[in-house]
Structure 1
């Protein structure tokens, strides 16, 4: 098999191996993962893959020719949306699955038990880093139920102008991390004069300082050195309390998985993303939640999601996000087709429409139960969507703030992404990548192509790893210590 045709309606196929002239009718050299025309396509005619529009021929394209950025043009979508016309009832699982998690006082369940050092502003980032660095593995050895002390620092928090959107985003992110069930204790450090006042945050979200939630400002404490010393003392006092947490058997319905992709290639939408989608369906059948994000990366595929919306209101929320992004990119002088990245294109993806059709597959087939703002708490169970940019660290930061206690990350070009406090596993879309980055990839979805494995088989493998990871098994990125620098709140608006 040298090419794959995904639908009878398609006028392109994808090269499984590099095509020489004459291979499967190729009239040009075609790289692995790239598209070949299956018939003559006239200039201006739609080009279809997945039986969906991925762009328009920019010139006449001959049968057997390479179809890519040089002859495939993007246009903004103008969809006719349907709501709830493709609802597939969720059949409850035959047996309830469980994992060993940390049941919090709120009733929510964590998969990890961290102490989080949160900063209200960049000016307190160094203090938080120095406090976290103090708590080496040797110093934490006496607290075996504590996964670590992590500083979540960022480059904003002050000089935030505009309509307040960026300010609200940061507030929700900080609150969301403080309340994430994978966090057992919180210390929040500020400077004192910043725009993101800690007292305002506490008041806005009803947070109450206590033994497991401490706050301080550098200006009040009296400088960096004193702040670091006080912070270390506060964490030392927290550690015995946080260490009292014990894992107990919990239903799989308590899992909320961030569905994410980065460094995608042409195989992502054929192997890894559909397999994750099947895993998401298995989780939803258990009463759990999968959260898709990256709004620019469902652009052109959003009509498939609105058709699955549980209500018209839910579907219209998604369309509202799409319209906001069109306006947002236009105001910045950009285009929705600025995504795919150069790496995506080298891997065979040509337009954002093509990329989105593959990315949306991570959401499986169950009804869309809720659409949420960036870092807004996800309260519905089942398959949900959260607004975010396509930039992976910013997107995952929002998903964790929304309540996700696990992260599942697919990649075709390669990635070394990790996340804290919610552990991240990675799924390779092709076997070449898996063999090259075996130390980073947890699951090889490329087996669907190279070994004849089914999407369902690989999806089951992914789902079962979610349960093991939720019970404490480390993913490969987690074992390598990734996750300390991937906290990136989405910054929107002018810097004043």
Structure 2
């Protein structure tokens, strides 16, 4: 077998270069010779046979584009010769046959989690401080200063740079070269302060620019999202700061919490500034009541839980031409294993399912779910077109540079994160996960808006595949970064947690890497391994706004 390229699906009329293929090389595949007229870079695609102008191009067995000009055999696929095209889809009567993978090694496995009164189990135990409106962001920051270091928690804003060194260079009138060559990185010092509340993994301070000024639907959605965070199994309790006059009113939040958990019993502090004597009194009250809440949160300890209590978010970002071959299918195998074990997995980013809708529709357990998915996709696509940016504009410059030429090509690889299992539920943004099995969740392709939505719907761990690298994380759901290639894993070792590059190098299989990844997930869920995004304090939180600002 030639390890320089890959033919993914029998229907495909393009091949993937697994390494740089020089100009003038002859490739041999399926008893035919393919001459390479110009260099094809690793991760990029080239024609398996001559492709006529306007002919459809297939990858992963799906339509991923249409030829703008004739493409000769062996020629690289680029934005100059290929344009986005995707297959049409419709809801049909379909029975999907899912063949579960072998799960013998994981059947009786457990993780050490935090058991909640509603029967859910968290992989972490956080306290939240949340503003109902952007006007309270400053007060959230004041609380952060008042609580983090005194209680023994490391802050992501702790100094890592010695600016004093640059100041000294300036005073000494040093040269530009001295400035640039000076080492101003401070060594990472472990937090030696004893945590006052050792069973509370951290206090997370969320800020945002919503809650007022936009349409009522956006403030209602924000309340639903925040309710999702408060009721997430990874959260022990929360402090909510309200101004008082904003659109996102306290009763809306309380109602959203009640709809998710009618027997909600976590400690919850809700304070309204316009009912307080002064800002100082407001902050003082918030600190005191939060401290009392932390005392209650600290009473909870990790205990064994079956793997079916996990809810895993499936995410990708900074994807490259290898993502759909290594990292995504390995994560898809994890999803299939967890589904077979009775857990829940959640595939998001609807713009990155463009072109694979029919397969996903066919996998829906019920026709009702299929109709809901088709409706959400059609509405999303229409709204994108109305503002002059359809799904075909989704690939980023980084995606294109590393071989993902069209949105359909990107989507066909991104969908591999969802494995092959039956889709048990389809959720709109902020709707909670209530069913075991694979769920589809409507979120944007924007990494942080999507991970924010995954945690808001109940995900307790997020697996995030990447080919280019990104530091993105989430405040409450530990986020595991999975590299599609070894070069990235080595280059950004401080950000990447798990490498699937061995699949590209023919040193590992999708199945073996999937099993290895599930072992890592169990360790993270048990608090035995700390993902880099958690270590770095990458607490990214961006609610999705769907409306205009009024």
TM-score scaled to structure 1, two decimals? 0.96
Match of 1:99 in 2: 111
1:188 correspondence with 2:190: no
Structure 1 residue 464, shift from structure 2 partner: 1.1
**Separation (CA, whole Å) in 2 of partners of 1:315 and 1:87:** 16
Match of 1:411 among 459, 466, 480: 466
Deviations 1:35-55 (A, max 9, x none): 111211110000111121101
**Separation (CA, whole Å) in 2 of partners of 1:345 and 1:106:** 45
Structure 1 residue 200, shift from structure 2 partner: 2.7
Deviations 1:397-436 (A, max 9, x none): 1111111111100000111122121101011001111111
**Contact kept in structure 2, 1:36 and 1:66, CA below 8 Å:** yes
Task: Give structure 2 stretches of 5+ with no counterpart.
Answer: 28-34, 153-194
- Aligned to 2:213, the other structure's residue is in SS state coil
1:111 correspondence with 2:123: yes
**Contact kept in structure 2, 1:424 and 1:475, CA below 8 Å:** no
Considering only aligned residues, what root-mean-square deviation do their CA atoms show, in Å? 1.8
Structure 1 residue 226, shift from structure 2 partner: 2.9
Question: 1:438 and 1:91, CA in 2 relative to 1: closer, same or farther beyond 3 A?
Answer: closer
Compare 218-227 and 195-204 and name the one that shifted more.
Answer: 218-227
Structure 1 residue 204, shift from structure 2 partner: 4.5
Match of 1:152 in 2: 206
1:304-323 equivalent positions in 2, closer than 5 A? 304-323=359-378
**Contact kept in structure 1, 2:64 and 2:85, CA below 8 Å:** no
**Contact kept in structure 2, 1:275 and 1:456, CA below 8 Å:** yes
Structure 1 residue 473, shift from structure 2 partner: 2.5
Match of 1:13 in 2: 15
Question: 1:417 and 1:188, CA in 2 relative to 1: closer, same or farther beyond 3 A?
Answer: same
**Contact kept in structure 2, 1:83 and 1:308, CA below 8 Å:** no
Structure 1 residue 208, shift from structure 2 partner: 9.1
1:121 correspondence with 2:176: no
1:232-247 equivalent positions in 2, closer than 5 A? 232-247=287-302
Deviations 1:252-297 (A, max 9, x none): 0000001000000111000000000001111111110110000000
**Separation (CA, whole Å) in 1 of partners of 2:451 and 2:19:** 33
**Separation (CA, whole Å) in 2 of partners of 1:351 and 1:252:** 37
Question: 1:450 and 1:137, CA in 2 relative to 1: closer, same or farther beyond 3 A?
Answer: farther
Structure 1 residue 122, shift from structure 2 partner: 0.6
**Contact kept in structure 1, 2:229 and 2:455, CA below 8 Å:** yes
**Separation (CA, whole Å) in 1 of partners of 2:535 and 2:257:** 34
Structure 1 residue 307, shift from structure 2 partner: 1.4
Match of 1:74 in 2: 84
Match of 1:172 in 2: 224
Question: 1:11 and 1:184, CA in 2 relative to 1: closer, same or farther beyond 3 A?
Answer: same
1:339-488 equivalent positions in 2, closer than 5 A? 339-484=394-539, 486-488=540-542
Structure 1 residue 490, shift from structure 2 partner: 0.4
1:29 correspondence with 2:39: yes
Match of 1:213 among 257, 268, 290: 268
**Separation (CA, whole Å) in 1 of partners of 2:109 and 2:337:** 10
Task: Give structure 1 stretches of 5+ with no counterpart.
Answer: none
Match of 1:63 in 2: 73
Structure 1 residue 448, shift from structure 2 partner: 0.6
Compare 214-223 and 204-213 and name the one that shifted more.
Answer: 204-213
Match of 2:192 in 1: none
Rg: which structure is higher? 2
TM-score scaled to structure 2, two decimals? 0.86
Match of 2:252 among 189, 196, 200: 200
**Separation (CA, whole Å) in 1 of partners of 2:476 and 2:313:** 12
**Separation (CA, whole Å) in 1 of partners of 2:298 and 2:95:** 49
Deviations 1:144-191 (A, max 9, x none): 101111111111110122xx4423321210110110111101110011
**Contact kept in structure 2, 1:83 and 1:309, CA below 8 Å:** no
Deviations 1:357-409 (A, max 9, x none): 11111011110000001011110101111100000111111111111111100
- Aligned to 2:363, the other structure's residue is in SS state coil
- Aligned to 2:151, the other structure's residue is in SS state helix
For these two proteins, the number of residue pairs brought into alignment is 493
**Separation (CA, whole Å) in 2 of partners of 1:88 and 1:295:** 22
Compare 329-338 and 264-273 and name the one that shifted more.
Answer: 329-338
**Separation (CA, whole Å) in 2 of partners of 1:204 and 1:54:** 40
- Aligned to 1:279, the other structure's residue is in SS state helix
Structure 1 residue 80, shift from structure 2 partner: 4.4
Structure 1 residue 6, shift from structure 2 partner: 0.9
Match of 1:267 among 290, 307, 322: 322
**Contact kept in structure 2, 1:92 and 1:286, CA below 8 Å:** no
**Separation (CA, whole Å) in 2 of partners of 1:309 and 1:378:** 16
- Aligned to 1:291, the other structure's residue is in SS state strand
